[in-house]
Structure 1
């Protein structure tokens, strides 16, 4: 079970026995030890790994060599990712990301093509297969959204041990109208009203992704599984100290009384039926984009 301890809506100071890695709160973030593996039915077969690096790209541009990665580098886990990774250059870009990357073995992650190795991406985090969206390719290198960070990317070398998977879905959350829209293949499928982060603990803007899912840790979640996202709060000091390292989540609630309001600790809260549909349809690795508002409102199914 993902959540081993929880801060409830009515008692932010209450924690169960201190167990492991933080995840989402009851009003917005919660803490947990292990994610729930995604059922095999939602995982499309991986494509072949990328080809080894060559001396030049197809355009003749040299491929920067990958510096050796020391074995002592940290591994990206559910705890906040190591510092030093570059910012996402297009955090509010609504263009769908249609390809994900799954490490088949531990892969070194760099701060730039040919740059410094800062950490390793492992095939799993807390027992769940890792799929990260690909945001850019440059000179033979591949940039992905970094897990356990907000609006950060990592560069992977051409000869890394990883495979690619197709991504069809995108979730767009608009903070001003409190609206979540699910897109498939670039077309809006459904929209729902949502609750978002309260003042000082706003739901972080920018691109993130579905990291994994967990059973509901308490009845207040309406008996529906929770999606843990790759993003963490923008201001960790604004949340209770016991939730240091918590992730932003997407989940249902026991009632719909606060939909359209800013009441969570940063998480995205929607209806139980809407959450069930997203759990059935959206695979890990799919992008979740949070913006203030889209220029043109999406259609509502």
Structure 2
């Protein structure tokens, strides 16, 4: 049983008995992350983020769809599975980096389309951790973000009640090659081999993002903090009972013998040194894209 107000924050990897792993996860809480440092020799920073109500597709005469009032009894998106009805992310497999994030400064309503139906509220924090969601699309007066606690879904929000932040980093995971690459402003910085989800519990494909970080619950995680992602298992019933309701995580393990293999319950495992580097450099809100394999670049003349 999980005590009221507590959460399971990670889908753990196999390698220790399921009941033991489940016990480790009980009561985990995300912790705020310090601003990432800027390593010497890093790529020059990108231009400043656009204003909150900027709109790349806006035309002067295009009307702004009005936002219907949101009923006060709508659910608030938390670490638990997000409510249904939100639209699919039409570019979920797109590996073009998302360079802006949206952080609510108050509770704001999330809609299923510009001028559509309000389905839930997005809060500034989830379990006390500040939430930044990558901006995936803009239309006149409306902004779409990747929805937390759901896979491959967008939420549309009208102007107001949020601020935008610059996102310099992106993580791309290739399932077929068991490879993770960290990009900064479009340039590859580091690549590591990773362990991924086993058959029936595959690491979910598509775009998600780093929701926050949590301390390692036990020594099996190698003593290194864990990134909890916005995604959840595609088939929640396929994971061990003790992990139901958990999120996909990016973390290390107490040994590296399974790197390059599919052995986890859906999580992404990499080396301790790689995880420490990502924790130091990549801020929450940064996008993570899981694909089967990146296309080979065209040959040069």
Aligned pair in 2 of structure 1 residues 195, 161: CA closer, same or farther (>3 Å)? same
List gaps (5 residues or longer) in structure 1: 1-14
After TM superposition, the structure 1 = structure 2 runs for residues 237-276 of structure 1, keeping only pairs within 5 Å, are 237-276=237-276
> Cα distance, 1:39 vs. partner?
1.6
Work out the CA distance in 1 between the residues paired with 2:6 and 2:248: 17
Tell me the residue number matched to 2:42. none
After TM superposition, the structure 1 = structure 2 runs for residues 160-171 of structure 1, keeping only pairs within 5 Å, are 160-171=160-171
Tell me the residue number matched to 2:149. 148
- 1:276 partner SS: helix
After TM superposition, the structure 1 = structure 2 runs for residues 1-301 of structure 1, keeping only pairs within 5 Å, are 20-27=6-13, 30=25, 32-40=27-35, 50-51=52-53, 57-158=58-159, 160-296=160-296
Work out the CA distance in 1 between the residues paired with 2:197 and 2:36: 32
Q: Please tell me whether the aligned partners of residues 47 and 163 of structure 1 are also in contact (alpha carbons under 8 angstroms).
A: no
Work out the CA distance in 2 between the residues paired with 1:256 and 1:52: 45
Work out the CA distance in 1 between the residues paired with 2:27 and 2:204: 20
Q: Please tell me whether the aligned partners of residues 31 and 243 of structure 1 are also in contact (alpha carbons under 8 angstroms).
A: no
1:281-300 deviation per Cα after TM superposition (whole angstroms, max 9, x unaligned)? 00000000000000027xxx
Work out the CA distance in 2 between the residues paired with 1:139 and 1:255: 50
> Cα distance, 1:276 vs. partner?
0.3
TM-score using structure 2 length: 0.87
1:161-197 deviation per Cα after TM superposition (whole angstroms, max 9, x unaligned)? 0000000000000000100000000000000000000
Number of aligned residues? 279
Structure 1 vs Structure 2 CA RMSD: 2.4
Aligned pair in 2 of structure 1 residues 207, 52: CA closer, same or farther (>3 Å)? closer
Work out the CA distance in 1 between the residues paired with 2:65 and 2:115: 5
> Cα distance, 1:244 vs. partner?
1.9
- 1:280 partner SS: helix
